[in-house]
């Protein structure tokens, strides 16, 4: 899931945590890493990083330039890539590339990727198919979109066009949902229709007052932002958040990120799969270009999510027939285990339930017989032995 904010925060983390560290030796690569061996070795070198869109470039610079030329690596994070700095004796799982420090005990900067969709390549060149970064190259990004509206890429729905890295380098699944939700734009509206409206809005601003100062332009943008402005502003909210929504040093702050989200995975929002199979979250109507044959699905409420997370809540109590028939049964106090078992057996079959319940009943104590009845019973027994005839029944 790493998108533009997470990649930029990873670069910031590397520069801050590794700026004063000296690394030594070669670069270690796992057997299953999706990248080439790194032919770099130095007894003392430093590491710096720079991010652009969804790519991150590392530069390995030897302290003695004559010993080894600089080596550049460009990373793509895939779905689960990240960087961690940890003790070399406690390497995390799925650490596919490792840079060891020269200190004692040594530490290691690791590129960790559990799903192995991330990769790296040698050299300093960014991927050619990617346009300017929505964060670090905002003006170039904006011009690149508005001057190419005739491209067939904008014949698609706006939610699919936002994932086109040729024009929206850095925007991913959760960012597109948040951007469209804030502007109340249906996700399956035609992209060219939306962006031509942005272009017209810009021209109207210039005609009204071409000599606007930068400060006034910023205020107007904050009051009435357009789609391209939010493609810059929303990622910057994540990057500049005080609660460190996605910071490698604050990996346990996912709860803060969930609280920041307004649309993506939020209970009550609708979702559909676009024509590429990616799920888009939205509110209201999906738009005229929505895929046919699909019905928008509602994101379950929080109560259901808590039930799924709580294993005890997954085992429902078996209710008896009596409690289903009579609503008052729910208000009665809980019964003992034996009585509940008896009711469950009765519900499964009347014959078995009654028989088993009779076997569990404790017989009442016998009452003492009167002396008259005892004497009469003894006399009958004696007369029966002697054969004097039958005794009338009492």
Is 106 within the bounds of a domain?
Answer: yes
Contact 170, 3 (CB under 8 A): yes
Are 105 and 154 members of one domain?
Answer: no
Same domain, 113 and 199: no
In a domain, 223, yes or no: yes
- CB-CB neighbours of 97 under 10 Å: 24
Domain termination residue (choose one: 67, 97, 122):
122
> Which residues, given as ranges, of the chain have pLDDT below 50?
304-374, 388-392, 394
- Give the per-residue pLDDT at 350: 41
The per-residue b/e assignment along 295-331, b for 16 or more CB within 10 angstroms, e otherwise, is eeeebeeeeeeeeeeeeeeeeeeeebeebeeeeeeee
* 358 domain-assigned: no
Q: Are 48 and 58 in contact (CB under 8 A)?
A: yes
3 state SS of 312: helix
Verify that 141 and 165 share a domain, yes or no: yes
Write the pLDDT tens digit of every residue in 311-334. 444 344 444 444 444 444 444 444
Q: What is the pLDDT of residue 155?
A: 97
CATH code at position 252: 1.10.8.50
In a domain, 108, yes or no: yes
How high is the pLDDT of residue 103?
93
Q: What is the pLDDT of residue 1?
A: 63
Question: Is there a single domain that holds both residue 116 and residue 136?
Answer: no
Q: For the chain, how many structural domains are there in total?
A: 2
What ranges in the chain are assigned the alpha helix state H?
Answer: 4-18, 138-146, 158-161, 173-183, 191-208, 214-223, 227-240, 254-260, 302-309, 321-325, 337-348, 350-360, 371-386
Q: Which residues participate in catalysis according to the annotation?
A: 2-3, 54
Neighbours of 183 (CB within 10 A): 13
Same domain, 102 and 164: no
- Domain finish residue from 314, 338, 360: 314
In a domain, 152, yes or no: yes
Q: For residues 92 and 193, state if they share a domain.
A: no
Q: Please check whether residues 157 and 296 belong to one and the same domain.
A: yes
> Are residues 136 and 212 part of one domain?
yes
> What is the rounded CA–CA span in Å between residue 291 and residue 57?
38
Q: What separation in angstroms does the CA of 348 have from each of 89, 334, 336?
A: 60, 20, 19
- For residue 48, being part of any structural domain is answered with yes
Whether residues 29 and 174 share a domain: the answer is: no
- pLDDT for 15 equals 96
Whether residue 132 contacts residue 144, with contact meaning beta carbons closer than 8 Å, is answered with: yes
- Give residue 224's pLDDT: 82
252 in the same domain as 162 = yes
Task: Judge if 152 and 87 occupy the same domain.
Answer: no
Cβ neighbours around 261 below 10 Å, total: 16
Copy the structure tokens of residue 59.
């530069």
The residue range of the domain holding 47 is: 4-122
Domain-located, residue 201: yes
- Which one of 289, 314, 339 terminates a domain? 314
Q: Which two tokens stand for residue 304?
A: 């259901």
Query: Same domain for 158 and 293?
Result: yes
Token pair of 145 as six digits: 């979109």
- Interatomic CA distance for residues 112 and 96, integer angstroms: 6
The 3 state secondary structure assigned to 175-229 is HHHHHHHHHCCCCCCEHHHHHHHHHHHHHHHHHHCCCCCHHHHHHHHHHCCCHHH
Is the separation of the CB atoms in 261 and 30 below 8 Å? no
Confidence at residue 377, expressed as pLDDT on a 0 to 100 scale: 53
Task: Give the CATH number of the domain where residue 76 resides.
Answer: 3.20.190.10
Residue 187 belongs to a domain: yes
């Amino acid at each position: 899931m790493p998108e533009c904010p997470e990649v930029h925060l990873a670069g910031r983390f590397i520069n801050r945590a590794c700026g004063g560290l000296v690394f030594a030796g070669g670069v270690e690569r796992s057997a299953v890493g999706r990248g080439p061996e790194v032919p770099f070795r130095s007894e003392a070198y430093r590491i710096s990083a720079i991010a652009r869109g969804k790519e991150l470039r590392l530069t390995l610079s030897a302290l003695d330039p004559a010993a080894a030329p600089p080596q550049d690596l460009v990373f793509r994070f895939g779905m689960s890539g990240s960087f961690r700095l940890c003790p070399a004796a406690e390497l995390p799982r799925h650490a596919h590339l490792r840079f060891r420090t020269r200190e004692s005990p040594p530490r290691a900067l690791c590129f960790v990727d559990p799903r192995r969709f991330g990769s790296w390549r040698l050299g300093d060149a960014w991927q050619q198919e990617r346009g300017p970064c929505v964060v670090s190259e905002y003006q170039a990004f904006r011009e690149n979109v508005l001057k190419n509206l005739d491209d067939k890429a904008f014949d698609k729905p706006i939610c699919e066009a936002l994932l086109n890295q040729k024009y929206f380098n850095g925007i991913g699944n959760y960012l597109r949902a948040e951007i469209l939700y804030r502007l109340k734009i249906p996700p399956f509206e035609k992209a060219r229709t939306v962006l031509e409206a942005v272009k017209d809005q810009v021209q109207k601003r210039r005609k009204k007052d071409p000599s606007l100062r930068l400060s006034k332009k910023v205020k107007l943008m904050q009051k009435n932002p357009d789609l391209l402005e939010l493609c810059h502003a929303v990622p910057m909210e994540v990057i500049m958040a005080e609660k460190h929504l996605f910071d490698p040093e604050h990996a346990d702050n996912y709860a803060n990120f969930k609280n920041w989200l307004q649309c993506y995975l939020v209970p009550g929002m609708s979702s559909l799969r676009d024509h590429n199979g990616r799920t888009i979250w939205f509110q209201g109507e999906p738009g005229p270009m929505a895929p046919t044959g699909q019905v928008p699905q509602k994101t379950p409420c929080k109560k259901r999510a808590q039930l799924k997370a709580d294993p005890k809540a997954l085992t429902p109590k078996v209710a008896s027939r009596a409690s289903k028939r009579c609503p008052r049964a729910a208000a009665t106090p809980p019964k003992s285990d034996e009585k509940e078992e008896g009711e469950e057996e009765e519900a499964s079959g009347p014959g078995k339930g009654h028989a088993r319940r009779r076997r569990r009943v404790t017989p009442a104590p016998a009452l003492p017989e009167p002396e008259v009845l005892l004497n009469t019973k003894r006399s009958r027994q004696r007369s029966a032995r002697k054969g004097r005839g039958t005794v009338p029944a009492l």
